[in-house]
Amino acid sequence: MLTSHRGEFYLIMGGLIFSFNGVISTIVLEHITPFRLAQVRSIGAFFILLAITLFIDRHSLKAPKKLIPKLAAYGVIGFAAVQAGYFLGIQRGVPLSLVLIIEFTAPIWIALWIKYVRKTFVPASMWSAIALSLLGLILLAQVWNGLSFDLLGLFGALISAFALTAYFLIGKSFGTSRSALSLTVWGLGMAALAWSSSMPIWSFPFEVFSIDMDLQGVFAGNTLPGWVLILWVITMGTIVPYLFVISGLRLLSASTSSVIGMMEPVFAGIFAWIWLEQSWNGIQLLGAAVVLVGIFIADRARSAAI
């Protein structure tokens, strides 16, 4: 059973770990800006994974010159731009729930790309799955509470959605020609280069590594040094989940992969409920159930989608 559903398993594990990292990142973001955290996350993960890859499979990093632009787009758009657009939305005061819903419109753009640009058949059940999953996210996030319509912030959230679309489509286009390990190294490397070019490393607030950070929620009053939590964000919050997601993307369609990715906010809500004591109401529980139904339908339709 596990062998026949490896793609789903990899994507669910990636979403699970990404979601838990959201709790850790929430703690760290009390002491550092989102853009700086994204920068250290990309740079740290890149160098650690590069060292590992050079030791166990250095030949996988080789790439012909004609492939470099595609790898650069994959890293800058699929890794850096997703975070940049998301953080811009948050910084401009757009509610997190609304930014999240806009970002997860990616499956719609993927389905439209497949149908109208590639001229490929998209099964009706996939459209139903996308609609159900988006409805579930709307209920889960309760976007009708405190909406904000800052145009620049909404533009940033939309950029995040388009970048996430490109991440799935470009990642899928590599097929099995490159390993998940090499793709992650290239992606993180290009993202690290983009962040380093936009924000000089020498002005990084290095004091954040020595700050004792309160763990909040059920662990309030307990602290860990900043370098421990940031190291977690780099390794377990970046390297491990990205490897899972890219491995899953190689086995499933881009549209199905993006819909399964909608499990991430469901997992995030569960972790926030357990750790940060942010309880769910009946509407949010219903939303989580609707998302899961949509994911199930998308998975059933995957053999007909590309």
pLDDT (0 to 100) of residue 97: 63
pLDDT (0 to 100) of residue 46: 94
**Average per-residue pLDDT for the chain:** 83
Residue that wins the pLDDT comparison between 264 and 217: 217
Residue 306 has pLDDT above 50, yes or no: no
Specify the pTM: 0.79
Contact criterion met (CB below 8 Å) for 100 and 254: no
Residue that wins the pLDDT comparison between 93 and 75: 75
Most confident of 91-100, 221-230, 260-269: 221-230
* Cα–Cα distance, 112 to 118 (Å, whole number): 9
* Cα–Cα distance, 246 to 16 (Å, whole number): 14
pLDDT (0 to 100) of residue 54: 92
* Tens digits of residue pLDDT in 113-154: 888 888 887 788 888 888 888 888 788 777 777 665 677 888
| Torsion on CA atoms 132, 136, 138, 144, rounded to nearest 10 | 120
223-225 and 212-214: which strand pairing?
antiparallel
Q: Quick one: which of 248, 173, 301, 210 has its CA closest to 12?
A: 248
Residue that wins the pLDDT comparison between 47 and 87: 47
Residue 180 has pLDDT above 50, yes or no: yes
- Could you write out the three-class secondary structure of 271-289? HHHHCCCCCCCHHHHHHHH
| Relative orientation angle of helices 151-173 and 68-75, to the nearest 10 degrees | 140
pLDDT (0 to 100) of residue 305: 47
Contact criterion met (CB below 8 Å) for 99 and 89: yes
